[in-house]
Amino acid sequence: MDQDGNFSYEPKYSEELKRKRIELLKEKGIVYKGLSVGDPEDKPHLDFFMKGIKLAEKDLKHKIEYSYCIMFGDSYAGDLETPKNELGFGLVVLFIKNLTKTKVEDEQYISTGNIFEVVKYLI
């Protein structure tokens, strides 16, 4: 952002910053095989989600059936709407900090403040 408050997007710079943040996960002991960074396409663009799915399919060595997928996020529009409506994920979970009661929004979508509650909806 410049002094006038104008934002300019530089994909290479943005990707570098995101990769540095992700390296912090390793320091916390979180191990991952594939890494998908949202540049040049980011959420909620379909290409962002497809990039991650292709990495997972490569690691698993088979195609993924989207109806068996679960997506967690803290923004319906940014994190969940595309996997639910465009890819047909089986369940999308909106995490709302301090939400005390899990709410079934529809057959593919729940809101919760307790990730452990999700297990009830996997059967």
Q: What pLDDT sits at residue 73?
A: 93
Q: What pLDDT sits at residue 15?
A: 77
Q: Where are the domains of the chain?
A: 1-63, 65-123
The backbone torsions φ and ψ at residue 79, rounded to the nearest 5 degrees and listed phi first, read -105, -30
Q: What pLDDT sits at residue 87?
A: 98
Strand order in the sheet with 70-73: 70-73, 91-95, 109-112, 103-106
What pTM did the predictor assign? 0.75
Q: What pLDDT sits at residue 40?
A: 67
Bridge partner residues of 106 (DSSP) = 109
How far CA 77 is from CA of 12, 15, 36, 94, 105, in Å, comes to: 25, 22, 19, 10, 14
Digits of tens for pLDDT over the chain (123 positions)? 677 877 777 778 877 887 787 788 778 877 766 666 666 678 899 998 998 899 889 989 999 999 999 999 999 999 999 999 999 999 999 999 999 999 999 999 999 999 999 998 887
